[in-house]
Structure 1
Amino acid sequence: MKARFADAAKSLFEIQGGPRVDFTAPAGEPALAAPDSVSWRVFKNPVALFVGGVTAVILELAEPRVRTGVWEYSSFKTDPLGRLKRTGLAAMVTVYGARSTAEAMIAGVGRQHARVAGTTPDGAAYRADDVALLDWVQATASFGFLNAYHALVQPLSAADRDRFYAEAAPAARLYGALGAPTSEAEWEAQLAAMLPRLERSDIVFEFLALMRGVKVAGPLSRLQHPLIRAAVELVPGEARAVLGLGREWLPRPLELPVIRAAARIADRTPISGAPPWAACERLGLPGAWLYRR
């Protein structure tokens, strides 16, 4: 079972024809986050990454300007799993990559954002490099990954949850998200301020249908629909109500215990050569160091 989880986790970062990142180099160069950070603990778990990533995208698509930019300029409609894999790889580089590698990648993302602009169907202008929109995207990503780990893998203390948001700040600033939350209280304030701007859209339901249809490798494929329902449940209740995501979208009886069991197995399954393993080796630690903590 553990070997199958390792293979499935590797597949989440293998992008056919995509970039290859060497997380073992340059030897000794630190990442934007430290090895003993909450971020390194959270991002090593493939179940938390999948569920949290879907939660984050649902919240992103609830904001009309973000939704229009994502749906018109990204490959979500034609290659949803590939798009999530690329987002996952970017998260791996941001958390585990050498600082110079992460800074170069983030600069490239910034150049791409600078070229994305348009108008929503309701006539609102948007730019992908708008700080307010970048703040929301950063906030939803932090919220999704953190709460997927907290709910499905291992409960985190209030102090650790605040640390997780604070640890994202250096990367958030590089991305241009100058007002991204640095604590759970700041996330809650940002959500409250954003709620009046969120709106229901068929695109959210189209995204969920696409995610149900993609082929996920390994044991996660058997849990794919329950994982998506778990992701919907993590969306704050006020936002679910706005989006029209009713009880039919929530986990069925016994699904969450099965997901938690799988997530906890994954949390203790070292994946040789995966970004967390390679990053540990880059810093002179055993590859399996994170999985022994």
Structure 2
Amino acid sequence: MSTSLFKPVRNRIDAAAAAFIQPADLAPFDFSQPAGEAALIAQDSVSWQVFKNPVSLFIGGVAAVILELAEARVRAGVWDHTSFRTDPVPRLKRTGLAAMITVYGPASKARTMIAGIVRRHSRVTGTADNGRPYKANDTQLLSWVQATAGYGFTEAFHRYVRPLTAKERDRAWSDAYPAAVLYGAIGAPKSEAQWQAQLAAMTPQLSHSPIVFEFLDIMRKADAFPALARPVQILLVRAAIDMVPPDVARIVGLTPQDGLKGWQRALVRRIAQGADRFPLRQSPAAQSCVRLGLPADWLYTRS
């Protein structure tokens, strides 16, 4: 494909990707301003590499929610107090934008956003289906949610984009910890070993629920991707299921047949690796590089 033909296609993909994380009911967030202001997480971090890839983020996000919904109190908080069941795509956009601001946004704006989320969470309380009361700002639950997100995004990048070294995996956890504390997740892991210990401690508390399968059905059918790419969306949901730790998969009722076949795994890797080499100049990652005086494609030259 010639450069003249490729540029309009690239621009269209770039614009579509930028629109996906911008909820229609919120004012546009400008990641390129104010000039020079650092993010909560440094630009040379593993997180800045991981979060630039929209394909592995989708996979990791689905895997993280499966783990979250396996905990009864988190499950009730998500299912009873959000619009996910009735209006999933705007909810996905709001969650995605919050994650991007946490990683890439100027630190002052990220702190303001997180404080607002914490205030809203303070009003979320209830009783789970196992009879246990919950509060959304409970530090144990917040730490589990932060841990599952960290696992999902990092593991998806590791499996489908490029292998991360043990040092890189530890750094991904430690780099994210200060932001996790702002959310109230003071028990979030700071290393891969701490994540494994937290997973082992939480697994006996997890439980089966049909809500997990309802969630997966929503993710297969939601208009997250353009219609022509819907088969890819379904494939990425399978890739997420593949990542669920075996003990947790057994508890929630997922089987290897719900995940990827061998040829599908190779295809997902090709798609994710392709996305990692495709600079999206309107993306939070690129715009945040510009804010710091770096080329928009700086992160892609470091891959």
Partner of 1:202: 210
Q: CA deviation at 1:257?
A: 1.1
Hey, what's the Cα distance between the residues in 2 that align with 1:19 and 1:245? 39
Hey, what's the Cα distance between the residues in 2 that align with 1:273 and 1:161? 27
Q: Name the count of aligned residue pairs.
A: 293
Amino acid at match of 1:208: L
> Are residues 1:280 and 2:257 paired?
no
Kindly report structure 1 stretches of 4+ aligned residues shifted beyond 4 Å. none
Partner of 2:198: 190
CA contact (8 A) 2:61 2:153 kept: yes
Partner of 2:32: 24
Other structure's SS at 1:254 match: helix
Q: CA deviation at 1:9?
A: 2.7
Q: CA deviation at 1:113?
A: 0.6
Q: Deviations over 1:256-276 (max 9, x none)?
A: 111111111110111112100
> Are residues 1:266 and 2:299 paired?
no
After the TM superposition, which residues 46-61 of structure 1 pair with which residues of structure 2 at under 5 Å, given as runs? 46-61=54-69
Other structure's SS at 2:91 match: helix
Amino acid at match of 1:104: T
TM-score by length of structure 2 reads: 0.93
Hey, what's the Cα distance between the residues in 1 that align with 2:42 and 2:138? 29
Comparing 194-203 and 8-17, the one that deviates more: 8-17
Q: Deviations over 1:40-71 (max 9, x none)?
A: 00000001110000000000000000000100
Hey, what's the Cα distance between the residues in 2 that align with 1:5 and 1:255? 23
Partner of 2:261: 252
For structure 1, the 5+ residue unaligned runs are none
Q: Deviations over 1:72-98 (max 9, x none)?
A: 001111122221221111110000000
Q: CA deviation at 1:27?
A: 0.9
Other structure's SS at 1:168 match: helix
After the TM superposition, which residues 147-186 of structure 1 pair with which residues of structure 2 at under 5 Å, given as runs? 147-186=155-194
Q: CA deviation at 1:17?
A: 2.1
Comparing 144-153 and 115-124, the one that deviates more: 115-124
CA contact (8 A) 1:51 1:148 kept: yes
TM-score by length of structure 1 reads: 0.97
Find 1:292's aligned residue among 289, 298, 301.
301
CA contact (8 A) 1:11 1:217 kept: no
Hey, what's the Cα distance between the residues in 2 that align with 1:256 and 1:194? 28
Partner of 2:77: 69
Hey, what's the Cα distance between the residues in 2 that align with 1:8 and 1:249? 29
Q: CA deviation at 1:112?
A: 0.7
Q: Deviations over 1:200-252 (max 9, x none)?
A: 00000000011111123347533111100000110101100111101221112
Comparing 19-28 and 197-206, the one that deviates more: 19-28
- Identity across the alignment (%): 53
Q: CA deviation at 1:121?
A: 2.3
Hey, what's the Cα distance between the residues in 2 that align with 1:12 and 1:262? 18
Partner of 1:215: 223
> Are residues 1:233 and 2:256 paired?
no
Amino acid at match of 1:116: V
> Are residues 1:41 and 2:15 paired?
no
> Are residues 1:145 and 2:153 paired?
yes
Amino acid at match of 1:260: R
Change (3 A) 1:25 1:52: same
Hey, what's the Cα distance between the residues in 1 that align with 2:13 and 2:29? 22
Q: CA deviation at 1:159?
A: 0.2
CA contact (8 A) 1:69 1:116 kept: yes
Other structure's SS at 1:60 match: helix
Q: CA deviation at 1:8?
A: 4.6
CA contact (8 A) 2:89 2:222 kept: yes
Amino acid at match of 1:138: Q
